[in-house]
Amino acid sequence: MNPPPPDSTERRPRSQAQPSRWRSGFISAVLLMLWLVLIGRLIHVQGTQHDFMHGKVDRQSTFTETLTARPGAIVDRNGHVLAMTVTRNSIYAVPSRIEDPRQFAWQAAAVTGRSADSILDQLRKSKDKHFVWIRRRVDDDVARAFRELQLPNNTWGFRREYLRQYPQGNIAAHVLGMRDIDNTGHGGLEQSLNDSIRGQDGRRVMTRDARGVVMEVEASESQTPVHGRSVICTIDLLTQLTIERQLDDLMERWKPVGACAVVMEPHTGEVLAMASRPAFDPNRPAEAPDDAWRNLTVSAVFEPGSTFKPFVVAWAMHQQSLNQSDMIQCFNGAYRMGRRILHDHHAYSLLSVEDVLVKSSNIGMARIAERIGLQQLHECTVAFGFGRRTGIELPGEVRGILRRQADWDEYSLGSIPMGQELAVTPLQLISAHAALANGGQLVKPRLLLESAEQLSPSPLTDIETVDATAPVESTVLDRNIAEWIVQHPMKQVVERGTGQAVRNDQMSIFGKTGTAQKVDEDSGHYSDSRHICSFVCGAPAEHPEVLVLVMVDEPTAGGSHYGGTVAAPAAADILQSSLRRIRRLDQSVTVRPEEDLPIRLR
Amino acid sequence: MGFFLVAVFGQCVSCVWHSRRVCEVDCMFFRFAAALLLVVAVSMAQVGLEKQSLRLRRSVSRQYYQMDELLELHAQLRLDIQQLSAPSRFLTQSAQHVRPFVTPTHPTAVSPKEIDRQTPARLPLLRWERPVRPDGVSH
């Protein structure tokens, strides 16, 4: 019996079967390792690098665009627009896609007004960039002409940007201020109310594909801009125009270093007009001279001179140290106070209290000050608001200069009553005179209307109300004393005193002139050639409706430097114009900005 | 679609009356086909709704865009009115020295097509900027 044939596998040499198992094992191990590596990498990417990768994807696929809020408008009390915002096209170029920069620059320069060299230089410096501005906020005509150039596609474009416009030109420039290209207010209401007027920018988050094409707007992450609120101010455009023209004439005639004027409603403190010279056009800020930005009404300080005298008389009467019928000995024009000898312009012997103010007697005022003493004199200046800011809604207001009572000496008893040794701003001065004109109430001057609609809505924004500020700051005087000061001495100043230039038979005007010497910085003494003259007046004396202050800094032409000569005529014209105007004004706002809107958008 | 579902249901019912073996194969086939078609039908309906939603969103975006344009036109016209009726301008005119502060532009009524033509090409959804709470729209 033959043995069974051996199995072919069993007969295969061991060396031939062994490599096959090793090979399959090796391949399996490699595959396993690959899988382990992949799994490890997956865990690494998804786990430990999750935030990093997620951020990277976000950066590549999403981008955020800022939606600029439209600034609110500023309108006067009758709805005339003083400042508002429109959109303009801004032209940009994509240098990385421009094949012939020279041709591009040459064509763009012909339309935009820029020089071809500057555009070419800009394009060459930024040849790898995807965005450079060619010209911003151009007129529609320029934009249309640029579009018609038929420049290569994808090498240029427009972006809409807001442009602040002041349709009244340089009218009320110092009250308004200006808003720069970054939508930031500078000076005036534009700065002080920047938060309200500016609004809140929004944002738009968009998702794009690998080619940069936007696929979707992420509404949940986007934010709608909140447009700025419009402001209704107390300015009356026609009154403002009057004082602007009067100041221009005054600057032309007297050639002063500067001048300013304020028109105020004495009972409420509403500023109807406010102007300062030199001025600027907020539509052309680059052309403004350096000294034009300063609003003299709140930032200039000067010694008030004789315009301060009524306060001392009123305070002495309020303290019952002086009566209306008292007679003041003025010692024929020379009076010694300690080491100092006071002089009057004219020699007076015995003057009534009324005549002390009408004649503007320095000696008479010093005698009255002696009755109340330094402490009451200091309390008088503080009570009428000197030495502190009035709180008007304007930036850059200064406190003035009022030293502590401890720093006053025997000279002060003669100097303070004649308006020296202290410095005030024009706004402080007219606010203090408003206290005399309104029956003894010190009111806070303001530029925003006191009403629930102080800040009115701009198009499509909610109506928001603000708390009305109480206009009365404090009660300074008895009503009878204030009325007597206005209706007698100050009225007589115009009738037969230093303010006769403003006398008018058709209305009873009261006022007070002031002429102060400026300090010579070289010698440290009062200058004989440099003066600040001012005139404050109001009408009608029986029930003052309007108050006007004109201050002229250092008139250099015309041959006079007195308040009654330089400032009074301009003040009189302003007063008459303002009085006619204010009687036509309703106390409430007559026009609301939103009324211009179509009904469905209100 | 309804007819097809009814047919499938009828076919399944008929299976009960036929032999069990044949019925199992047919029913399995029809159940699979019916499920597949149901999924397709739901997907198509979803696509339709999505397209409608997109169309509505584009329409809303276009309306907001047009409203923005109208508001801008209103602002521009208002500015022109204020510039042309400025009291100082009248005074200057009376002095025979006319010089407007800012050269007024003269926007004219522009049709939406003209606006689209003049405006650089943009995706429709980019113009979705929503003013705050216009009448009849809440968000």
| Domain-embedded: residue A389 | yes
Whether A400 shows a pLDDT value over 90: the answer reads: yes
Task: Judge whether B127 and B57 are in contact, CB under 8 Å.
Answer: no
Task: Give A-chain residues touching B126 at CB under 8 angstroms.
Answer: 204, 206, 214, 217
Q: Are A430 and A205 in contact (CB under 8 A)?
A: no
* B32 close to A (CB below 8 A): no
- Predicted pLDDT of residue B126: 44
Q: What is the DSSP letter of A566?
A: I
At CA B31, angle to CA B30 and CA B32, rounded to 5?
Answer: 90
pLDDT recorded at residue B2: 53
Q: How far apart are CA B40 and CA B5, in angstroms?
A: 13
Q: Which residues of B touch A225 (CB under 8 A)?
A: 129
Quick check: is A520 in a domain? yes
Residues 6+ apart with CB under 8 A from B105: A139, A140, A141, B76, B80
Give the separation between CA A224 and CA A202, rounded to whole angstroms.
5
Structure tokens at A318: 């309020």
Has residue A166 been placed in a domain? Answer: no
What pLDDT does A238 receive?
92
Distance CA A70, CA A201 (A): 8
- A140 with B120: Cβ contact below 8 A: no
Among B86, B125, B130, the residue with its CB nearest the CB of A216 is: B125
Beta bridge partners of A546: A539
Q: How many whole angstroms separate alpha carbon A315 and alpha carbon A480?
A: 12
Residues of A in contact with B127 (CB under 8 A): none
Q: How confident is the model at residue A315 (pLDDT cuts 50, 70, 90)?
A: very high
Does A460 contact B102 at a Cβ distance shorter than 8 Å?
A: no
- Statement: residue A600 has pLDDT above 80: no
Distance CA A139, CA A88 (A): 7
A486 backbone dihedrals φ, ψ, rounded to 5°: -75, -45
pLDDT band, very low/low/confident/very high, at A5 (cuts 50, 70, 90): low
Contact (CB<8Å) B91/A226: no
Contact assessment for residue A416 and residue A408, using Cβ atoms and an 8 Å cutoff: yes
Using CB atoms within 10 A of its CB, is residue A323 exposed (0-12), middle (13-18) or buried (19+)?
exposed
- A510 or B21: which leads in pLDDT: A510
Retrieve residue A235's tokens.
Answer: 């300015």
In 3D, which of B101, B78, B81, B87 has the Cα closest to residue A238? B87
Q: What is the CATH number of the domain that holds A329?
A: 3.40.710.10
Q: Is the confidence at residue A599, as pLDDT, over 60?
A: no
Query: Domain range spanning residue A294?
Result: 237-582
A290-294, A446-450, A537-541: range with lowest mean pLDDT = A446-450
Averaged pLDDT, A187-208? 91
CA separation for the pair A479, A282 (Å, rounded): 43
Closest-CA distance, B41 to chain A, in angstroms, reads 26
Kindly tell me if the per-residue pLDDT of B28 is higher than 90.
no
Mean pLDDT taken over chain A? 86
Strand A230-232 to A81-93 pairing: unpaired
State whether the Cα torsion A357-A363-A364-A366 is positive or negative. Answer: positive
Six-digit token pair at A188? 């005036």
Sort out which chain A residues have CB atoms less than 8 A from B115's CB and list them.
none
The predicted-structure confidence for A501-513, as pLDDT tens digits, reads as follows 888 888 899 999 9
Q: What is the mean pLDDT of residues A166-187?
A: 91
* Chain B CA closest to residue A238: B87
Cβ–Cβ below 8 Å for A206 and B126:
yes
Q: How far apart are CA A309 and CA A432, in angstroms?
A: 12
**Region A334-340 average pLDDT:** 84
| A210-255 pLDDT, tens digit each | 787 888 888 888 898 888 888 889 999 999 999 999 999 999 999 9
Residue A467 pLDDT exceeds 70? no
Q: Could you tell me which of A562, A577, A578 has the C-alpha nearest to residue A254? A: A562
Mean pLDDT, residues B90-109? 55
B88 and chain A: CB distance < 8 Å anywhere?
yes
**Residue from the list A147, A167, A226 with its beta carbon closest to the beta carbon of B83:** A167
The answer for residues whose C-beta is within 8 angstroms of residue A594's C-beta and 6 or more apart is A456, A457, A459, A602
Interface probe, candidates A65, A84, A86, A144, chain B, greatest B C-beta count within 10 A: A86
Q: What is the CA radius of gyration of chain B?
A: 32
Q: Are the C-beta atoms of residues A87 and A163 closer than 8 Å to each other?
A: yes
Residues of B in contact with A461 (CB under 8 A): 132
> Where in chain B are the domains?
2-126
**Contact flag B71-A460 (C-beta cutoff 8 Å):** yes
Per the structure, the count of domains in chain A is: 1
Per CB-CB distance under 8 Å, the chain B contacts of A283 are 101-102
Q: What is the structure's pLDDT at B60?
A: 85
Strands A230-232 and A74-75: parallel
Backbone angles phi, psi at A466, to 5 degrees: -125, 155
SS (H, E, C) chain B: CHHHHHHHHHHHHHHHHCCHHHHHHHHHHHHHHHHHHHHHHHHHHHHHHHHHHHHHHHHHHHHHHHHHHHHHHHHHHHHHHHHHCCHHHHHHHHCCCCCCCCCCCCCCCCCHHHHHHHCCCCCHHHCCCCCCCCCCCCC
In tens, the pLDDT along A344-388 reads 888 888 899 999 999 999 999 999 999 999 999 999 999 999 999
Tokens, residue A96 = 């990385």
Strand partners, A262: A274, A549
Measured between CA atoms, the residue of chain B closest to residue A459 is B71
Q: How far B40 CA lies from chain A's nearest CA (Å)?
A: 26
Structure tokens at A48: 């430990």
Predicted local distance difference test score (pLDDT) of residue A597? 42
Q: Which residue of B has its CA nearest to A206?
A: B126
Which amino acid is it at A232?
A: I
What pLDDT, on a 0 to 100 scale, did the predictor assign at position A473? 77
The pLDDT value recorded for residue A276 is 95
Take residue A289 and report the two structure tokens written for it: 């001279």
Question: CA A183: distance to chain centroid?
Answer: 13
Dump pLDDT digits (tens) for A116-164. Answer: 999 999 999 998 898 999 999 998 899 999 999 989 988 999 998 999 9
Which pLDDT score is estimated for A537?
A: 94
Most confident of A338-347, A395-404, B81-90: A395-404
Quick check: is A193 in a domain?
no
Place of tokens 């004789």: A306
Structure tokens at A505: 């038979």
Asked whether the beta carbons of residue A86 and residue B82 sit closer than 8 angstroms, the reply is: no
| Residue of A84, A147, A214 with shortest CB distance to B123 | A214
Length of chain B: 139
Please answer yes or no on whether A167 and B120 come within 8 Å at the CB atom.
Answer: no
CB contact residues (below 8 A), chain B span 2-31, against chain A: none
For chain B, how far is it from start to end, CA to CA, in angstroms? Answer: 38
3-state secondary structure of A65: strand
Q: Could B101 and A168 be called an inter-chain contact, meaning their C-beta atoms sit closer than 8 Å?
A: yes
Determine the Cα–Cα distance for residues A591 and B82; give it in Å rounded to an integer: 14
Per-residue pLDDT, A524 = 75
pTM above 0.90, yes or no: no
- Best residue in A64, A81, A227 for a mutation probing chain B (most B CBs within 10 Å): A81
CB-based contact, B99 to chain A, within 8 Å: no
Strand ranges, E, within A94-177? 132-138, 156-165
Q: What is the b/e burial string over A539-575, where b = at least 16 CB atoms within 10 angstroms of the residue's CB?
A: bbbeebebbbbbbbbbbeeeeebbbbbbbbbbbbbbb
Q: Give one DSSP letter per residue of A488-513, joined into a string.
A: IIIHHHHHHSTTGGG--TTS--EEEE
The lowest-confidence range among A111-115, A259-263, A595-599 is A595-599
pLDDT band at residue A55 using 50, 70 and 90 as cut-offs: confident
Cis before B107? omega within 30: no
| Coil/strand/helix, residue A486 | helix
- Supply the DSSP string of A423-441, one letter for each residue: BB-HHHHHHHHHHHHTTSE
Q: Per mean pLDDT, which range of A405-409, A571-575, B117-121 is the poorest?
A: B117-121
Q: Check whether B6 has a pLDDT greater than 70.
A: no
Q: Does B118 contact A167 at a Cβ distance shorter than 8 Å?
A: no
Cβ atoms of A259 and A251 closer than 8 Å: yes
The percent of residues in chain A predicted with pLDDT above 90, rounded, is 56
- The radius of gyration of chain A from alpha carbons, rounded to an integer in Å, stands at 38
Which residues have CB under 8 Å from A505's CB, separation 6+?
none
